[in-house]
């Protein structure tokens, strides 16, 4: 376990943001299903990418990591062994749906978070409606799961409060020989659905939808290998941006594409609405020391993955910040609503926990002993909170940051070091 000591300090004045985890994982997945070789430029090499690479190998794809790219030779046959999704919801859901195409059993498990928190029954239920055998091994609604196909084109219905089961279905139904329809109850996280639809459209799929509740999939998708350059990750960029705001530092953020479809770029506008001095300069983002931020109400469905860092920002914003419509945050790598409330309260924050979010009051944070709970976004958010607090803080379990931002601690440039009493 990696334990850190964080001392309030300024940060680097210039940072290049790592590339997108979500785009990298989709590129690997679709590389497996394509004909011939696909080349993924500037991928995010992370623990989740490793899990996806190992998973597609089990299904018959071959990959080679080069200096700044990954080459994937497409291939898809019954899995050779149990799939370990590790901590990746995308690997878990996408490969479960893919396995339902095959006339063989696919077994998927993962880490404690995958086995206890991540919703899978909506996807398994939809696959069952399409003719698959799709069950949880222990009958408790959690991984390990067993899936056996082949599914056939048709109609299915599922809950959409988590977007990944919906994306997983849209992905795999696009390849079936025939038309399908998907009906979604309580659709949420529409921005991630848009990202999935953009990938499918790029590859030649034909999908229409009505208000994210009714999808009509033409089927018959087939494509040759592709070349794709992964853009910078807006979700990761939020942590150095927030660190600049709470430490009143000047920061130039490089590596982002303002035209990319990633939904977390909406948080830039939300921060500007709170009074943050942030502006685009071509494809760079400049963050200047800002006057007092103002608390606002934020619908978390716009950017659910930004919830932990928005909770931190709320502590530094005048008045009250209300984060709502984010109940699914309880079923991510951790119960992020409970975890962020409890950890920030350790620092003296005034927070009221709601079923679907938090009410955060402007608070003078103090250094404290903090826990990551094995959640990369929680860990980086607490580091940002500690940089703006009074006195040193100690964070246990920082190794989970490797999931999306392996160089965060080094590149942020602040006074962060391994805790000499705990290593």
Catalytic residues: 305
Instruction: Write out the two tokens for 291.
Output: 């006057």
3-state secondary structure at position 108: strand
- In terms of residues, how long is the chain? 423
Q: Where are the alpha helices (DSSP H) in 177-277?
A: 190-203, 234-247, 266-273
* SS percent in the chain: helix, strand, coil, step 5: 35, 25, 40
Q: Where are the alpha helices (DSSP H) in 152-189?
A: 163-173
Q: How far is CA 147 from the centre of its chain?
A: 24
Of 376, 373, 371, 331, which is closest to residue 355 (Cα–Cα)?
A: 331
Distance CA 198, CA 144 (A): 30
Containing 15, the helix (H) or strand (E) segment is strand 14-16
Instruction: Write out the two tokens for 404.
Output: 């999306």
Residues with Cβ within 8 Å of 259's Cβ and at least 6 positions away in sequence, in order, are none
Of 326, 323, 324, which is closest to residue 360 (Cα–Cα)?
A: 323
Distance CA 24, CA 306 (A): 19
């Amino acid at each position: 376990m990696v334990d850190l000591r964080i001392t309030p300090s300024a940060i680097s004045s210039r940072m290049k943001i790592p590339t997108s985890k979500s785009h990298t994982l989709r590129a690997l997945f679709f590389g497996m299903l394509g004909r011939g070789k696909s080349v993924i430029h500037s991928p995010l090499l992370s623990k989740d990418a490793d899990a996806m690479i190992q998973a597609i190998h089990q299904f018959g794809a071959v990959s080679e990591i080069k200096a700044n790219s990954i080459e994937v030779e497409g291939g898809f046959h019954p899995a050779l062994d149990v799939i370990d999704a590790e901590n990746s919801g995308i690997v878990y859901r996408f490969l479960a749906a893919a396995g339902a195409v095959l006339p063989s059993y696919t077994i998927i498990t993962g880490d404690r978070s995958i086995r206890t928190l991540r919703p899978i029954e909506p996807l398994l239920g939809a696959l069952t409606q399409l003719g698959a055998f799709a069950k949880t091994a222990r009958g408790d609604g959690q991984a390990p799961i067993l899936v056996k196909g082949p599914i056939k084109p048709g109609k299915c219905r599922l809950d959409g409060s988590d977007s990944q089961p919906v994306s997983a279905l849209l992905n795999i139904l696009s390849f079936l020989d025939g038309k399908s329809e998907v009906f979604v109850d309580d659709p949420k996280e529409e921005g991630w659905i848009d990202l999935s639809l953009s990938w499918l459209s790029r590859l030649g799929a034909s999908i229409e939808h009505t208000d994210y509740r009714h999808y009509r999939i033409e089927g018959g998708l087939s494509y040759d290998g592709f070349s794709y350059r992964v853009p910078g990750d807006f979700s990761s960029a939020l942590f150095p941006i927030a660190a600049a705001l709470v430490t009143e530092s000047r920061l130039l953020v490089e590596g982002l594409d303002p035209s990319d479809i990633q939904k977390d770029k909406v948080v830039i506008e939300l921060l500007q609405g709170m009074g943050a001095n942030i502006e685009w300069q071509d494809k760079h983002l400049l963050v200047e020391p800002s006057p007092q931020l103002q608390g606002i109400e934020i619908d978390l469905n716009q950017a659910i993955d930004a919830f932990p860092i928005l909770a931190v920002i709320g502590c530094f914003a005048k008045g009250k910040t209300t984060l709502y419509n984010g109940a699914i945050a309880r079923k991510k790598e951790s119960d992020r609503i409970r975890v962020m409330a409890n950890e920030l309260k350790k620092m003296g924050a005034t927070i009221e926990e709601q079923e679907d979010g938090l009410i955060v009051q402007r608070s003078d944070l103090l250094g404290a002993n903090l826990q990551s709970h094995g959640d990369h976004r929680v860990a980086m958010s607490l580091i940002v909170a500690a940089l703006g607090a009074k006195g040193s803080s100690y964070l246990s379990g920082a190794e989970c940051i490797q999931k999306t931002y392996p160089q965060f601690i080094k590149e942020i440039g602040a006074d962060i070091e391994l805790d000499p009493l705990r290593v």
